[in-house]
Amino acid sequence: MAASVFTAVPRAPPVAVFKLTADFREDGDSRKVNLGVGAYRTDEGQPWVLPVVKKVEQMIANDNSLNHEYLPILGLPEFRANASRIALGDDSPAIKENRIGSVQSLGGTGALRIGAEFLRRWYNGNNNTATPVYISAPSWENHNSVFVDAGFKDIRTYHYWDAAKRGLDLQGLLDDMEKAPEFSIFILHACAHNPTGTDPTPDQWKQIAAVMKRRFLFPFFDSAYQGFASGSLDKDAWAVRYFVSEGFELFCAQSFSKNFGLYNERVGTLTVVGKDTDSVQRALSQMEKIVRTTWSNPPSQGARIVATTLSSPQLFAEWKDNVKTMADRVLLMRSELRSRLEALGTPGTWNHITEQIGMFSFTGLNPKQVEYMIKEKHIYLMASGRINMCGLTTKNLDYVAKSIHEAVTKIQ
């Protein structure tokens, strides 16, 4: 029998976070805790379908006027308009001046990919694969992969995390921006930086914007946690809105996986802010061509859920309340974990756990300590020391805190 045409294909390494979840599922230990997966969990450790989402799903199911015809290539118009509105704000000058546009995408990753494809084809010259793309060190691992797969050849990192201070390395970040070639692309986390949970303050964002404007750097925001980080939609969108108010042309990728709990519906948007209506429309016309050969046409269910919720004042208020429930639980777990570690006298400082924001915390645990946590304590977390705060519950907090204490004390 002839060899397979796929014989020479090398086996790719598994995606780390999904491999971690698979290992967790196979672990038979009753004490096991999953702090790896990037999804919200209740205090019972269960996924949560938002009450407002359940209500809207029922409304959609009962609406006999709906059908399964194709959407426009760029997506459901009312979804796109409302998604951009909550990112940029009701009083956004860009919306009022009709110089924004958007593309419905398959989650935040799809928005990043469409944006990356467009930038490679049409930004800083035609098909300029040499434009430097700067990604924070560390960052969500998919940022690098998306831009590499889109064809960019010069992916660089910018300083972000100061391991000694367990906080933002602002000076290193600004220095890297000063040294970056003009027209470089910078991937910026709009809020709840993944994996560190450390965000610039408004004053620090102003300093970042000033350098980017002077150096002609292009901001590409990734907004995966709006509302989920602080509990406030407006606070979590502050950076994006400030850059728009400063006259930047920019991209903003949005995901509704976390703040709507619609992980498997793949609901996202890419919002484009330009100098004028014509330039935005020309950009969208090219994005339409990219979408046509990528997924051709987006799915409707998740987009309808989000659009229905955002366009009704009553449902919008309910959703904001649901989002605050999730954000408040995360904040509570942060304070509870910190207080336990401090009560145990765990070596080091732990204030960074409550100073960080969003779903993730960068604990400061090193790879050997992480290995100890997994092998000896059956607590699953990323090799970087990143933990999902939603994996903590009132039932496992003591066990996790004591295990961290043990890991830090025993393993250097």
User: Residue 251: in which H helix or E strand, if any?
Assistant: strand 250-255
The residues facing 199 across adjacent strands are none
- Of 140, 238, 319, 350, the catalytic one is 140
Q: How far apart are CA 318 and CA 55, in angstroms?
A: 10
- Of 169, 199, 222, 236, the catalytic one is 222
Token reading at 381: 């977390």
Contact 176, 216 (CB under 8 A): no
Contact 294, 283 (CB under 8 A): no
Chain-centroid distance, C-alpha 85: 18
* Cis omega (within 30 of 0) for bond into 195: yes
Q: How far apart are CA 79 and CA 104, in angstroms?
A: 8
Three-state DSSP class for residue 186: strand
- Of 161, 199, 238, 258, the catalytic one is 258
Q: Is 258 tagged catalytic?
A: yes
DSSP string, 257-310: HHHH--GGG-EEEEEEE-SSHHHHHHHHHHHHHHHHTTTSS--SHHHHHHHHHH
Q: How far apart are CA 119 and CA 147, in angstroms?
A: 10
Q: How many CA atoms lie within 13 A of 14 on its CB side?
A: 8
Catalytic residue positions, numbered: 140, 222, 258
